[in-house]
Amino acid sequence: KEFIISIPASSANLGPAFDSGGIALNLYLTLKVAESDQWELISQSSFLPTDANYEENLIYQVAKETAKRHNKQLPTCKLTINSDIPLARGFGSSASAIIAGIELANQVCELSLSPDEKLTYGTEFEGHPDNIAPSLFGGLTITSKHFKNDVDWLRIPDLDLDVVGYIPEFELETKAARGVLPAYFSKEQATTASSISNVLIASLFSGNYELAGKMMENDLFHEPYRSELIPHYHEIKKEAKRCGVYGTVISGAGPTMVSFAEKGKGKSIAEHMQQFLQGYQISALQIDTNGL
């Protein structure tokens, strides 16, 4: 048995939709699976360690756990991994690896997992669903993990937007970027922050991208605290605005930033921004609408 699993990257938060909104992007983690008589892991990406012991690999660990939940044992496989998703930059590389593991177990153990089961499992491994859902389903997803650990979600498959990604050379671990956030918000802060998020989502659903961009740039949940961790945060926002983007935000926990722009304009904005900014890899990206 041989097959390929391909999972898109994602950008979470979109500013105020903290731990809830996410968008799938056309950078992919690809896993080639062949059943074999022993475990073998070949990684063909500069973003992944090449000499990885398979037991330490997140994809393997998640697959093993997923099989175990269904009282199955994972058959030995040869895994060939390729990835264009940079690690620890804010493009959901760990969520993509987690989904690869779930889908690996799903296929080799014939678990017939439903989309909701994949989302729930992925969220348990990752802690929050905002990168898991877009990588699974494609497009823009809005999720809510509430008290019983259920995850409810909605999806907009098509947004008329281009995305420009500003990827710096340095890494930022999500744990460190979560560490700078306040543990509590006052009632007034929480109400204002969630009202901004509500208007963001409503404007994205109704295609009012000007308003969406305004809301993106007025996040109160995390950007004011994380902006300190990202050199050029303010310059990138300002110059991108001069190029006419709707809004620029931190991608997930950073340090990558992303701008949302009118469809068709991403490439020229990326080219301009690359001239403007040293030490960043700047690319025009598309929204992936297929997911896993």
Size of the site for ligand HSE (CB under 6 A): 13
Is the peptide bond preceding residue 129 cis, with omega within 30 degrees of 0?
Answer: no
Q: Find the largest Cα–Cα distance for the chain.
A: 60
Is 91 annotated to bind a ligand? Reply is yes
- Does the footprint of ligand HSE cover residue 251 (CB under 6 A)? no
Q: Give CA–CA dist 43/91, Å, rounded.
A: 19
Q: Is position 89 annotated in a ligand binding site?
A: yes
What minimum distance in Å lies between the beta carbon of 19 and ligand HSE?
4
Nearest to 273, CA basis, from 245, 246, 252: 245
Among 29, 132, 161, 253, the residue binding ligand HSE under the rule CB under 6 A is 253
Does the annotation place 90 within a ligand binding site? Answer: yes
Tell whether residue 115 is among the known ligand binding residues.
Answer: no
DSSP state letters, 56-91: G-HHHHHHHHHHHHTT--PPPEEEEEEE-S-TTSSS
Of 85 and 109, CB closest to ligand HSE: 85
Other CB atoms within 10 A of residue 7 CB: 27
272 binds ligand HSE (CB under 6 A): no
232 contributes a contact to ligand HSE by CB under 6 A: no
Cα distances (angstroms) measured from residue 102 to each of 58, 77, 108, 113:
11, 14, 10, 9
Among 72, 155, 178, 241, binds ligand HSE (CB under 6 A): 178
Looking at the DSSP bridge assignments, the partners of residue 34 are 2, 78
CB of 249 to ligand HSE, least distance (A): 10
Minimum CB–partner distance for residue 190 and ligand HSE (Å): 17
Site for ligand HSE in 96-155 (CB under 6 A): 128, 130-131
* Comparison of 9 and 111: residue with beta carbon closer to ligand HSE: 9
Q: Which stretch binds ligand HSE (CB under 6 A): 56-64, 72-80, 172-180, 277-285?
A: 172-180
- Report the C-alpha gap between 83 and 6 in whole angstroms: 9
Which residue lies nearer to ligand HSE by CB, 33 or 177? Answer: 177
What is the DSSP annotation of 115-168?
HHHHHHHHHHHHSSSTTHHHHHH-SEEEEEE-TTS-EEEEEE---SEEEEEEEE
Please state the residue numbers annotated as binding site for ATP. Answer: 86-96
What is the binding site for ligand HSE (CB under 6 A)?
12-13, 18-19, 128, 130-131, 174, 177-178, 222, 252-253
